[in-house]
Structure 1
């Protein structure tokens, strides 16, 4: 079989190469939920097997290795497990309520790049998987004259400049609702109707700290969000929630740890045109912190996390413990501050450099030549704290690292390839 056979080429790249899925739409969320575990890492082969490949096969395998390092699986950490437990219990206990009584909400707080969004989305997706199966993939609340489409979870990103109108529109965008020429009262009624008709049990509002409580419009948005708590469980995700002003009006219940907020007394201050209930709104605040390195237990958890990443590396000259041997765990902690997102950025870039240079292993010298630049990732709002501070990078190596020559596999030399598999 010749190498240019299309069937063989397709089999050599068994990983998705399409656009990033937008979870902020009902179709995108469903697609992400159903495919979130479909990625297949590059196969583990020896250097000898790699050298026996044709140039094009090696190129495709290298591409698959790069994709593997760029899509490291989300690992459970002690911190994310605590968030998962709190969110799972809250959703399950409130999903079966049959009356429009106020449901407690959840605020997930943490720094940038600490995995808040992925943790929350994974917990919500797990719930939706089981909930749909339980209800035979039908809307349990469907009544004649309403839609049959069910959306147990709605994931919405808070607009950068959040106002009641733009927040309503963002929620309606998820459901694909037409809101052209709607005024605010109509928008709020449409949001409430969409949540009910789609049997939505969980509404996730990500990047909630884009709300600035010194702005009157943003205060109205928070009032509106609280008014939705008698329909669905509201999960707010953000950076530095405790210092953002979102909790300014509330008081913390010393017995339960929940934050209690007074109802909106003046109806004119709320965009919700329906009667405001007299039930106080409650949010539980949970933190997703970075790893610590101050006790034997915390160090062991960090090393265990690094060990999980080790099993996904596809470098030919790496020894059995490239990330957990010797002083490497301490070095990686100093570089990343225990932030899992920064660790992922560092490992991804370092593996790319190891493959590109032909070194095929991670060591201190190579890692010192690799910077961490989360600010270059699009869609982050630095003013809302979504770009984390990166620990100071050690001095880079003075000796330049020799790079592998340019790959010429796809150069046209004027003749047909004679390479075979």
Structure 2
């Protein structure tokens, strides 16, 4: 929306909400190839006041969906994870008679690990298609990467059904039938990687580590692709050790086949971490479309506050800022400050840890401000 057309009443529109599930091929293709959103125009209060009739509603609608979908942002943590994933996945050029090593992204909730892994999957998908073409030699659609997410108490049959459902295949039959059907799809569509999210749900919380490890080994044996597992507390369950202790852990086959990765939260214990936090806030700040936004609104005036409210977790930070922007737009405040943000609710985990961090920051025991600022910060 340009400045010249902003004052005109727009035509009816559906908005830029994109409703799809990445666990279905059609939805995954939307995530991989969906057009980049166009950042709404930055309007002043005076320009907002000149908008007539429906135009303010449309402009605000554009802003709200824009703020809700900022990211992924190329943080050092995300770039490091992508580099590690690339090293594992793209070196797995083994023939079909060899088991390909898997990757396990195991991190706390709210750090953006699923978003980060899907972003890598999208990039790998596009690069494979750019090199090898949209169709396979047999004429099938090329689907280099697929994405599935597990639900509570998933068993092997349910996992195989999820893979079939992604490809749009029938989900009738037992676990072995579904596995054969899924493998045929993997081979015909030249899939090279399967992202399996929320694997901590595999076989339910009550299953032991041996059973879970055996199920994951089964997947590695059956599917001739690189498996990228994403979950919470997977290593803590002892899955990589398969129930072995002491020197016997050397017998854990799954641990030998799997490289564990993580996505750490932001930390402000040293200047490197503080500079990364400041850079992140400046990047987000540039993307916000508020009439009274100003340089330093996040990176200077709200730096300590946002760290305490998010505890350095990316997803908690983005939820807080998104909701704050929505409140700022709908209230006419048009900027973020502590008074407004104090009325914004955040996730329970972040709120539970907030008081301790706030006390440390206010007492000067911790700071988000770099002690030796670099020009690049």
Instruction: Tell me the TM-score normalized by structure 2.
Output: 0.84
Q: CA RMSD in A?
A: 3.0
Structure 2 counterpart SS, 1:285 = strand
**Matches of 1:65 and 1:179, distance apart in 2:** 40
Give unpaired runs (5+ residues) of structure 1.
253-258, 264-279, 375-387, 395-421
* Larger Rg computed on CA atoms: 1
2:230 maps to 237
Any conservation in 2 of the 1:79–1:289 contact (CA below 8 Å)?
yes
Secondary structure at the counterpart of residue 311 of structure 1: helix
Secondary structure at the residue paired with 2:227? strand
Give CA deviations for 1:25-44 in whole Å, capped at 9, x if unaligned: 12211121000x52112111
Kindly state the Cα deviation for residue 83 of structure 1 after the two structures are TM-superposed.
Answer: 0.8
Among residues 334, 338, 347, which one is paired with 1:373 in the alignment?
Answer: 347
Shift of 1:71: 1.3
Would you say the 8 A contact 2:311–2:350 is kept in 1?
no
**Preserved contact between residue 316 and residue 361 of structure 1 (Cα < 8 Å):** yes
Change (3 A) 1:14 1:305: farther
1:162–1:218 CA contact under 8 A, matched in 2: no
Whole-Å separation in 1 of the counterparts to 2:183 and 2:221:
9
Counterpart Cα distance in 1 of 2:253 and 2:210? 17
From 112, 122, 127, the equivalent of 1:125 is 122
Kindly indicate whether residue 43 of structure 2 is the aligned counterpart of residue 45 of structure 1. yes
Select 2:271's aligned residue among 260, 283, 296: 296
TM-score scaled to structure 1, two decimals? 0.75
Q: Give the drift of 1:241.
A: 1.9
Whether 1:103 and 2:100 are equivalent positions in the alignment is yes
Question: SS of 1:156's equivalent?
Answer: strand
Deviation, structure 1 residue 97: 3.6
Structure with the largest fraction of helix: 2
CA contact (8 A) 2:107 2:113 kept: yes
Any idea what SS the aligned residue of 1:74 has?
A: coil
**Alignment CA distance shift 1:133-1:111 (3 Å):** same
In the TM superposition, residue 210 of structure 1 has moved relative to its aligned partner by 1.1
CA distance in 2, matches of 1:82, 1:110: 14
Cα deviation, residue 137, structure 1:
1.7
Q: Secondary structure at the match of 1:55?
A: coil
SS of residue paired to 2:151: coil
**Contact persistence 2:72–2:119 (CA under 8 A):** no
The Cα shift of 1:299 comes to 0.3
Report the counterpart of residue 23 of structure 1 in structure 2: 22
Do the aligned partners of 1:102 and 1:281 also contact (CA within 8 Å) in 2?
A: no
Equivalent of residue 324 in structure 1, options 262, 282, 299: 299
Shift >3 Å, 4+ stretches: 96-99, 215-220, 388-394
Structure 1 CA distance for aligned equivalents of residues 79 and 251 of structure 2: 25
The answer on 1:60 being equivalent to 2:54 is: no
Matches of 2:97 and 2:23, distance apart in 1 = 25
Aligned residue in 1 for 2:83:
85
Distance 1:301 1:251 in 2: 39
Please name the residue that 1:113 is paired with.
110
Indicate how the Cα distance of structure 1 residues 260 and 92 shifts in structure 2: closer, same or farther if over 3 A, else same. farther
Matched residue SS, 1:40: coil
Give how far 1:127 is off: 1.1
The aligned length equals 347
The 2-side partners of 1:289 and 1:304 are apart by: 16
Answer with 46-55 or 341-350: which moved more.
46-55
Work out whether 1:138 is the aligned partner of 2:135: yes
Report whether the alignment pairs 1:194 with 2:194: no
Give 2:313's aligned residue: 339
Partner SS for 2:169: coil
Please give the residue correspondences for 1:269-418 in structure 2 after superposition, counting only pairs within 5 Å.
282-326=257-301, 328-373=302-347, 388-393=349-354
